[in-house]
Amino acid sequence: MGAFAAALLALLLAAMAAPPAEAAVGVNWGTLSSHRVPPPVVVDLLRANRIGKVKLFDADPAVLRALAGSGLQVMVGVTNAELAAVAGSPAAADAWVAQNVSRYVGRGGVDIRYIAVGNEPFLTSYQGQFQSYVIPAMTNIQQSLVKANLASYVKLVVPCNADAYQSASLPSQGVFRTELTQIMTQLAAFLSSSGAPFVVNIYPFLSLYQSSDFPQDYAFFEGSTHPVVDGPNTYYNAFDGNFDTLVAALGKIGYGQLPIAIGEVGWPTEGAPSANLTAARAFNQGLMNRVMNNKGTPLRPGVPPADVYLFSLFDEEQKSILPGNFERHWGIFSFDGQAKYPLNLGLGNPVLKNAREVPYLPSRWCIANPAQNLDNVANHLKLACSMADCTTLDYGGSCYGIGEKANVSYAFNSYYQQQKQDAKSCDFDGNGMITYLDPSMGECRFLVGIDDSKSSAVSSCGCGCGRCGGGGDEECKQHEPGHKGKNSVPPHVSFLFSPLLMLQNAELSGDLYANMAVICGVYIL
Ligand X SMILES: *[C@@H]1O[C@H](CO)[C@@H](O)[C@H](O)[C@H]1NC(C)=O
Peptide bond into 425 cis (omega under 30): no
Under the criterion CB under 6 A, does residue 89 sit at the interface with ligand X? no
- CB 385 → ligand X: shortest distance, Å? 8
Contact pick of 242, 407, 417, 460 for ligand X (by CB under 6 A): 407
**Integer Cα distance of 35 and 37 in angstroms:** 6
Q: How far is the CB of 442 from ligand X (least distance, A)?
A: 14
Minimum CB separation from ligand X for residue 519, in Å?
27
For residues 407 and 515, which CB has a smaller minimum distance to ligand X in the complex? Answer: 407
Q: Judged by CB under 6 A, does residue 433 bind ligand X?
A: no
Q: Which of 23, 37, 41, 59 binds ligand X (CB under 6 A)?
A: 59
Backbone angles phi, psi at 199, to 5 degrees: -105, 125
Pick one of 274, 372, 435, 504: the residue that binds ligand X (CB under 6 A). 274
Torsion of Cα atoms, 504 then 282 then 159 then 247, to 10°: 150
Is 120 catalytic? The answer is yes
Choose the binding region for ligand X from 56-64, 173-181, 191-199, 424-432 (rule: CB under 6 A): 56-64
Query: Binding pattern to ligand X, positions 228-267, x when CB under 6 A?
Result: ----------------------------------------
Rule CB under 6 A: say whether 403 interacts with ligand X. Answer: yes
Rounded to whole angstroms, the Cα distance separating 267 from 202 reads: 11
For residues 370 and 196, what is the distance between their CA atoms, to the nearest angstrom? 60
Among 70, 79, 131, 349, binds ligand X (CB under 6 A): 79
- Asked if residue 294 binds ligand X (CB under 6 A), the reply is no
- The Cα–Cα gap between 246 and 522 comes to 52
Closest CA to 291 of 345, 330, 225: 345
Q: Is residue 108 within 8 Å of residue 64, measured between CB atoms?
A: no
Does 276 bind ligand X (CB under 6 A)? Our answer is yes
Q: At what angle do helices 90-97 and 134-147 cross, to 10 degrees?
A: 60
Q: Is 264 a catalytic residue?
A: yes
- Is there binding between residue 100 and ligand X (CB under 6 A)? yes
Q: Is 278 in the site for ligand X (CB under 6 A)?
A: yes
Strand 73-78 relative to strand 53-56: parallel, antiparallel, unpaired?
Answer: parallel
Binding mask 186-225 for ligand X (x = CB under 6 A): ------------------------------x---------
> What residues does 366 pair with on adjacent strands?
434
What stretches of 121-266 adopt beta strand conformation (E)? 155-157, 160-161, 198-201, 228-230, 233-235, 260-265
Among 393, 444, 489, 518, binds ligand X (CB under 6 A): 393
- Which one of the listed residues 82, 179, 264, 480 is annotated catalytic? 264
- By C-alpha distance, which of 523, 525, 521 is closest to 459? 521
Spatial separation of the C-alpha atoms in residues 8 and 319, rounded to whole Å: 56
Question: Segment 126-165, which members bind ligand X (CB under 6 A)?
Answer: none
Residue whose CB is nearest to ligand X in the complex, by number: 274
Indicate the DSSP class of residue 173: G
The C-alpha atoms of residue 405 and residue 408 are separated, in whole angstroms, by: 5
Contact flag: residue 99 with ligand X (CB under 6 A): yes
Catalytic residue among 82, 120, 270, 475: 120
Write out the catalytic residue numbers. 120, 264
Q: Where does this chain bind ligand X (CB under 6 A)?
A: 58-60, 79, 82, 96, 99-100, 216, 274, 276, 278-279, 393-394, 403-404, 407
